[in-house]
Amino acid sequence: MRQALPPTARRCLALLGLSLGVAAQLGCGSVEGQVYGGDTTAASRVPDVDVLLVRRSSALLASLKQFCLDEKADEARRDSERARLTRKSHVLKDSAAVIFGLEYQSPRWQRLTAAANAASDSSDQMSILGNDPVAVAEENALRRARTDSSGHYRLTDVRAGSYFVVPLVRESAYSPVLWYPTRVVIGTKRLDVNGDDGWAGCYLTKMDSIEASARR
């Protein structure tokens, strides 16, 4: 048979629970870890990059959804322009091939070849830098830190809740910045990021599929 706790012990436990709850709400948690550019080796740590903390909310997801709808329309326009440049490249290359035998290395042949190559390069190298919702992360960031020389970051004074950690790093101009879901309760939450479990911003509107990840 269990013995009842003395009144003093009960009061102490109640005060402890209240203190923990207040601490969580006032922002006594933190998130820290390493930012890696690939595998989790020391050589892959990424120094001197900003890391954002963004609270997950319906307003944030609505902003992301609108941004990504606009981006989808922009993508259709880019696809059309890419197709136009590809067609132009093919026409110019055909024209250069026709006159090659007649005007070997002539200025006209060189101009046609250069124009064909420029059109082909433009078609293949359309950067997504202006079309990635990193701007939404910047606008909604509650905390910002910068990785040190060993790629370590620390975000402090974090209230309990669900968040995204967003390191402002990408593999190339054609790769999106990744958002990492996490949950803070109290104390220090460890979150190392290396591309695993990260999501491109426009996929975050499908939140049902990442609920499990958010509880890590």
Tens digits of residue pLDDT in 3-59: 555 555 455 444 445 444 544 455 578 999 999 987 767 778 999 999 999 999 989
Q: Tens digits of per-residue pLDDT, 114-159?
A: 777 766 666 555 555 556 788 899 999 999 999 999 999 999 999 9
Ordered DSSP codes for the chain: -PPPPPHHHHHHHHHHHHHHHHHHHHT-EEEEEEBBSSSSSGGGB--S-EEEEEE--HHHHHHHHHHHHHHHHHHHHHHHHHHHHHHHHHHHHHHHHHHHTTSTT-HHHHHHHHHHHHHHHHHH----GGGSTHHHHHHHEEEEEE--TTSEEEEEEE-SEEEEEEE---SSTTSPPEEEEEEE-SSEEE--BSSTT-EEGGGTT-GGGGHHHHT-
Joined together, the tokens standing for residue 53 give 């903390």
pLDDT tens across 49-108, in order? 999 999 999 899 888 888 888 776 666 666 666 666 677 667 667 776 766 666 666 777
Task: Kindly state the average pLDDT of the residues 175-204.
Answer: 88
Contacts of 139 (CB under 8 A, 6+ apart): 63
pTM, full prediction: 0.62
Domain ranges of the chain: 29-64+131-214, 74-127
Residue 198 confidence (pLDDT) above 60 = yes
Q: d(Cα 47, Cα 152) in Å, to the nearest integer?
A: 8
Note the pLDDT of residue 1.
47
**pLDDT score at 77:** 66
Provide CATH code, domain 29-64+131-214: 2.60.40.10
